[in-house]
Structure formats: structure tokens, C-alpha cells
């Protein structure tokens, strides 16, 4: 790896920081006994997304591909973010409030990242 390459932890840290600034929940996802699950759950006014973080150009392991495929088959929104541009796009998307039939934003409002 070259010294200019961005590590996965840098992308994940950027995601946590961006979520905190935007008022989104950004929870570390750990599922004991179930390897291959995504790294984070991000919750915002526009929805909930499971996020697997990779370094730029990083690839999913076969187990991660299988788990993400199964989650998607069950209706989960799972994203793979592999760079800072992906972080920015996801946070912007999830920050957009969806209005309910009564014209008010759904959910309990902004939370903090964890």
C-alpha cells in the first residue's frame, strides 16, 4: 500500500464524524456468532441503512457478499461505502427528511453518532 492510500478506518471515521455533524445515528453493528455483517447501521430522517465500509478499491470477502445478499433478499438496505465521496453522498441522502401524511417529519428526530 502506498502512503497516499486511504485506510478503511479513515473512511469509517469520516462516516461517524459526518453522521454526528448531520445529526444521524451511526451505530457500530456487532452480531455475535454471525460473521460477515456490515460495520455500521446509519439511521436518519430518510431511512435506515446498513453500511459496510471498505478502503477505496477494497473488495468484499465471500462471506460478506453472502451475508449482504441474504440481508438484501430480506428487504434490508445495505450499502458498501469505499471512499469519502460515498460517505458524503450517503449522509446527504439520509439527512433528507421524509414527510408523513400529516406533513411532519417522521421519527424521533436527530440523534448522535456512537
Q: CA 78, CA 83: separation in Å to the nearest integer?
A: 16
Residue of 18, 64, 34 lying closest to 26 (CA atoms) = 18
Q: What is the mean pLDDT of the chain?
A: 86
pLDDT (0 to 100) of residue 39: 97
> Taking residues 22-47, what's their average pLDDT?
95
pLDDT digits (tens, 9 = 90+) for 4-20: 578 999 999 999 999 99
Higher pLDDT residue, 113 or 14? 14
Residues 113, 20 contacting (CB under 8 angstroms): yes
Q: Residue 46 has which C-alpha cell?
A: 430518510
**Residue 86 burial (CB count, 10 A):** 19
Q: Residue 110 has which C-alpha cell?
A: 436527530
Q: CA 112, CA 114: separation in Å to the nearest integer?
A: 6
Domains of the chain: 25-95 (3.40.1350.10)
pLDDT (0 to 100) of residue 6: 87
Q: CA 62, CA 94: separation in Å to the nearest integer?
A: 28
Q: CA 92, CA 110: separation in Å to the nearest integer?
A: 14
> Taking residues 59-77, what's their average pLDDT?
98
Please determine, for residue 60, whether its predicted confidence score (pLDDT) is greater than 60.
yes
pTM, full prediction = 0.80
Ordered strands of the 78-81 beta sheet: 25-28, 40-44, 47-53, 78-81
Amino acid at each position: 500500500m502506498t502512503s497516499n492510500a486511504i485506510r478503511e478506518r479513515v473512511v469509517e471515521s469520516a462516516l461517524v464524524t459526518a453522521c454526528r455533524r448531520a445529526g444521524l445515528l451511526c451505530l457500530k453493528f456487532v452480531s455475535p456468532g454471525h460473521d460477515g455483517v456490515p460495520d455500521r447501521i446509519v439511521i436518519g430522517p430518510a431511512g435506515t441503512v446498513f453500511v459496510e465500509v471498505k478502503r477505496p478499491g477494497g473488495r468484499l470477502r465471500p462471506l460478506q457478499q453472502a451475508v449482504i445478499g441474504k440481508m438484501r433478499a430480506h428487504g434490508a438496505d445495505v450499502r458498501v461505502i469505499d471512499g469519502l465521496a460515498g460517505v458524503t453522498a450517503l449522509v446527504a441522502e439520509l439527512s433528507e427528511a421524509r414527510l408523513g401524511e400529516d406533513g411532519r417529519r417522521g421519527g424521533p428526530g436527530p440523534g448522535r453518532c456512537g
